[in-house]
Structure formats: C-alpha cells, structure tokens
Structure 1
Amino acid sequence: MNGVALAMLDDPLPARLARIAATVLAWLLLTPVPSQAAAPASYAREREAFVHEMAARHGFERAELRALMQGARYRQAIVDAMDRPYEGKSWGAYRALFVTPERIAGGRRFRVEHAALLRQAERTYGVPAEVIVAILGIETNYGATLGQYPVLDALTTLGFAYPRRAAFFRKELEAFLLLAREEAVDPSSARGSYAGALGLPQFIPSSYRAYAVDFDGDGRRDLWHSEADVIASVGAYLAAHGWRRGEPIASPATLHGPLEDGLEVGGKRPLVPSLSVAKLKAAGVEPERALAPNARAALIELDAEEPEYWVVLENFYAITRYNHSNLYALAVYELSRAIAALDR
C-alpha cells in the first residue's frame, strides 16, 4: 500500500471522504471528454438564408422560425450514418438483419391485431396485407424503433452541412416545416431517423405530405399514433408508385448457360422492368415460379454465400420506390412471405 493510501487510512472519515471526492473530481477534470464536432463555418449562414427563404415563400414569421432553427444542433453522427448505409452491405448480411424469426413473429402478431384495418387497406389500394406489414417491420420493427434523432437536427445537419445531398435535404426541411404547420406537429420535439424519416412507416416529409392519408377520418394524417393512417398510407404510397393489384413480386431464378450478350443484369440498385418474362426465358433465365410470359421483368444478381438470381416484376420495382434498393425490396418480399405463411 502506498504512502497516500496509508495517510488516508489515518484520517478521520469525513476528511478521508473529502480527499476521495477531491481525487475523483481532479480525475474527471483532467480526463478528456469526446466533443461534438463543430458545424462547418457555412452552417449558420445557410440556416439564416433558409429562414429568409421560408418567410418569403411560405409566410413564416422570421423571428419565430429563427429561434426554432437556432435550437437545432449540428450532429456529426448523422453525417457519419449517411456515409455507411445498411444498403452498402451484402445481401446475405442485409437479410440477416431484417428477415429474422423475431421480426416474422412480430409481423404475424401485428397482422392478427390489425386484421380488419389491413383488409380494408388491401381492398382500397390493392396491396396485400403482408407487404404492408413487412414494410412496417423493416422500417421501425412495427413501431418499436421510431428513430432517435430530433428531425430538425437531422434535416438541418444534412441540408446545411452535407454538400453531396444538401439540396435534397433542404427541400425535405422545407417540407417538414410545412407538414408541421399543416398537421399540428411540434417541429421541436418530433424524432425520426438520421435522414429525417417520420413515424411508423418512416416517410420522408415530402412523401408524408404527398401520400399520407387520413384513414380513420379524424381530420389529421397521423403516422405516429393512428394505426389506420399508418397502414393505409403505406398502401397508398405503393399504389401511387405503380403497384399492380393481384400480380406477383419476384421469383428466384436459375441460369441455363451463359447469359445472352447485352442482357442487362441489375445489382443492388433498382432496374426498371423492361423485358418480358418470355424474353428472359429465351435468354436462358428460368424463374422458379410460373410467371405470365408477357409480364414486364428484370433480372438481378445479388451477392450472398452463392450468387442469387431473381426475376423481379413491376410490383418489386414499386417497392424500390419506397427505398431505392433491391436489397430492401427483396427483404420486404421475403419477410412478407414468411408473415403470410400464417395462412398456409
């Protein structure tokens, strides 16, 4: 035992506690604390210009909006998250994140609990219940994870300090403030994803304004608390982006020999279905499912333990309008089939 420790043992208890407290305080003061990265120099300038634009274009009161915007924080973690999206993973790794026994079980429970609403939405928009449920499962685990970031922080960070996509996120910030005014949402307390996506279906603000529906008839489109609005809004979004009622989504495929020269094969990025199934079959692509010969389709190849080939159709492409990734659409498809297995 060293001399300091021996001396402390000889002290009366109050003096000993005071020495311990002083030692701990000194250690805390001397230990470096990771700091939040500072916003770029242009951040404040861009924020002020945005306030003036919103006042001129949409009639926002400058002082109130300036005070709101000054309460937003630049967050380096949001920029970092944008640079490492889930969709950068392999198909095998991506699938393992989202098509899990827990998410399948959660989807089946959600489908049973909201069966009447899902049937009503399916009749209205033509989108199968299990597809709507699967999207909610992948987006927020059926509402369990709605996002940890203040939406204002996310959209100001990306709109004013992420040059690669600043124009896009600046428009989303504009849409969010308009949405907050239209739907009585408190913009200072709303939370969402690192990209500013909102509610159970994780709509970006412009999509919320364009495609969300008031399915429960209460005069508001509430994607946080109204299961009716949430379920119907997913169906409405897919219907508006080309969903074809009663048609298939995708089929695994095998190749018979080398592919025909010039046949385009998609990877992670979506490919517009532009070839007939008959043409793909003539080129040596054999879907496992029976598909209409004249259906418009595309061939994609994904990296798993072994390369996987899929013939994807127009409903698959509609899902990629929700998230522009073949990995996402295929995870929705596989999760939806596992949820629908409840019926089989």
Structure 2
Amino acid sequence: MPLFILLFLLPAMAFAGKTLPATNFQVTHNFIEKMSNEHQFDKDELRSIFAKITLVSAEKPNKTTPKKPKSKPLSWDKYRTLFITNTRIDRGVKFWQENLPALQRAEKKFNVPQEIIVAILGIETNYGNNKGTHPTLETLARLAFGKHRRWKFYQKELIEFLLMSRENALPPLSLKGSYAGAMGYAQFISSSYRYYAIDFDFDKKIDLFNSPTDAIGSIANYFDKHQWHDFGPYARPITLTNSQSMYAKSSTNKPKNSAQYWRNKGFKIDNDINNKTKLAFIKLTQDDHFETWLTFWNFYVLTRYNHDNRYALTAVLLSSRIKQQFNQPNSTIL
C-alpha cells in the first residue's frame, strides 16, 4: 500500500482496537524520521523492521468499565521469601563456582564483592534461567507509542535500544527480555546496556544475552559508576522510638547526615560506626508492623539498580547466605 494512502487511513483506524503492523501508525513513521535525522538510520531498513512488529490501535474508552483496583505491594516478609530460597542459594553457589575467575577479576577491578554480583544475578534472572520472553523491540514500541504514563521514558529507551543494537551488531527483532524491556543476564534496560555494559570476556563484543562473564563485569561496573564505596557495610536492623520512626522512609532514602548528627538527636547508633559515616533509615512493611533498618551508602547504591528498598535488602541478605554456603572467610557484614 502506498505510504500516502496508508497515512490517510490512519485516523480511521484510531478507534479500531486492533493489532496491526507498527508501520500502520503515523507515530511510527514520525519516529523513523527522527531516527534518520538524528542518528542517521536508514529509513527503508527501519520501515522493514517495524513492519514485522505490531501495535494495538486505540479503543474508545468504555465509561461503564470499572477501573482495576491497584494491587497491594507485597509485605517485606513475603517479598524476600520469593528470592531467598534454598534452591536459589544452591544455584548461586554453583554459579559462583563455575564463574569464579571472572568474579574474582570483577571484585579486584571494581571492589564490588563477588557475592553481591552473584546475588543480583540470582534475583534478576535466576542466574540466566529466566531472561524474559517478550520481544524487546515490540515491547518498547508499544510502551513508547501508546498511552503509557511514562511513554517519554520508553521512547528514549527505544532510541537507546536501536543504537545499542547497531553498536553491538545485535539483530533487534531477535532480542527478548522482560515485559518492561530489561534484557540479558543482568536485566539492563537499553540505556544501561549502552552506558554501563562492558566486554569482560575480551571477545570484542558486549553480550549480556549469552555471556555470564560480560554480565558479571557489567554489574560491577554499574555499581562502580554509581560510586560504590569499597567493601563498605550495607544495613543493620535498628529499633526506633515512635518519634524517631518518622525519619525512616518507605522509599529510597539517601544517606545525608552523619552518625554524629543522629547521635545528637538521641538515636542509639552502634559504637563501631564512625561519627563521620553518613547514615539513613528505612522502614519495611510487614503484615501488621514496620521493620526498621539503619542503612549505609552502599545500600543506597544497590537501590540505583532497583529503587525498591525490599530489592536492595534482599540482595544483601541473599548474598550473605550464598557466601556462607560457599564457605568463604570474612562473611559479609550487614
């Protein structure tokens, strides 16, 4: 079908609610024009690629259809049991044993403990066993071109995805990942892949889909670039009074004030913590109460990978369990 006829038909399709080739939509052609002008992509090549994925045209809103209620976030005790299991710990030990040289190199180069890297890979993809089955190009296009509240973010990630594919000679139609566009062993989004992924197995390509070694180095590099403090502590449980608990945040809480500052406010901070060490406090929801933790800088860096405090603390606890079973000396200090 000639392009001018296709574009004429687009408004009539707006409320069809059908799954159609992406090239049936004006937004796709606008995007292709942008990629050609700003990043020198070949228009015909992009049209050919986008013709092989589908988008869903907008449907008329049904005012009688009730909105789905928002699901309640899992409580901390339920969340951690999804990941801290004997099976995942055993697989973590096996992965560590099989990839020991790469993990040792990453720790030496970036000063990120091996067990933290192993734990992140365990949480993200169960050591490469669950990298995702959603076609990433189509996933990002649907999120970028639809009515998602973060469509601008996903359009940026779609741009990064195409640049990433071109830079690493990866076939964009073959790549698969999560429902939100995260990819490979480490579940990097496209921008993280471009800026933080590294060739750690020295084969002159960056491949987070098939190379656990590249994934190991890339995770360590990610934390290093987010200002990881060499072998610093992460978190410890702390009991707060009712008035003190107002300083414990459910969302990410960046350490800004020193231990001395909190001591002056009456907080009972352990004596082994230096007065100049910056601290923060978080609270995690259980079924009927809050659990409070004192957190250090490296805990905050963990939340740069995933902003959920539950994720970061799960990584800490899982890493400790894996290291204990791996039988390494000097277990991780919480």
TM interval, shorter chain, is 0.7 to 0.9
2:322 aligned residue: 339
Tell me if structure 2 keeps the 8 A contact 1:254–1:287. no
1:132 aligned residue: 117
Task: Find the aligned partners of 2:70 and 2:92 in 1 and give their Cα distance.
Answer: 24
> Larger radius of gyration, structure 1 or 2?
1
Tell me if structure 2 keeps the 8 A contact 1:259–1:284. no
AA matched with 1:169:
Y
| Alignment pair present for 1:154 and 2:139 | yes
Give how far 1:281 is off: 4.1
Task: Find the aligned partners of 2:294 and 2:95 in 1 and give their Cα distance.
Answer: 29
| Alignment pair present for 1:45 and 2:30 | no
Give how far 1:163 is off: 3.3
Task: Find the aligned partners of 1:186 and 1:266 in 2 and give their Cα distance.
Answer: 43
Which of 293, 297, 314 is the aligned partner of 1:314? 297
| Alignment pair present for 1:95 and 2:77 | no
| Alignment pair present for 1:211 and 2:196 | yes
Task: Find the aligned partners of 2:235 and 2:218 in 1 and give their Cα distance.
Answer: 23
Give how far 1:74 is off: 3.3
Task: Find the aligned partners of 1:86 and 1:251 in 2 and give their Cα distance.
Answer: 29
Task: Find the aligned partners of 2:147 and 2:118 in 1 and give their Cα distance.
Answer: 33
Superposition RMSD in Å: 2.7
Task: Find the aligned partners of 2:56 and 2:272 in 1 and give their Cα distance.
Answer: 50
SS of residue paired to 1:254: coil
Percent identity reads 38
Query: Could you state the TM-score of these two structures normalised by the residue count of structure 1?
Result: 0.81
Task: Find the aligned partners of 1:178 and 1:38 in 2 and give their Cα distance.
Answer: 29
| Alignment pair present for 1:259 and 2:269 | no
Using a 3 Å threshold, how does the CA distance of structure 1 residues 276 and 210 change in structure 2: closer, same or farther? Answer: same
Give how far 1:42 is off: 12
Give 5+ residue unaligned stretches, structure 1.
1-36, 77-82
1:30 aligned residue: none
Query: Could you state the TM-score of these two structures normalised by the residue count of structure 2?
Result: 0.83
Q: Which deviates further from its counterpart, 128-137 or 323-332?
A: 323-332
Q: In the TM superposition, what whole-angstrom CA distance separates every residue of 1:231-266 from its partner, at most 9, and x where no partner exists?
A: 0100000010111002101111112x33349x5321
Which of 324, 330, 340 is the aligned partner of 2:307? 324
Task: Find the aligned partners of 2:211 and 2:71 in 1 and give their Cα distance.
Answer: 28
Tell me if structure 2 keeps the 8 A contact 1:42–1:160. no
Give how far 1:87 is off: 9.6
Which of 291, 303, 308 is the aligned partner of 2:273? 291
Give 5+ residue unaligned stretches, structure 2.
1-16, 58-67, 330-334
Give how far 1:198 is off: 1.0
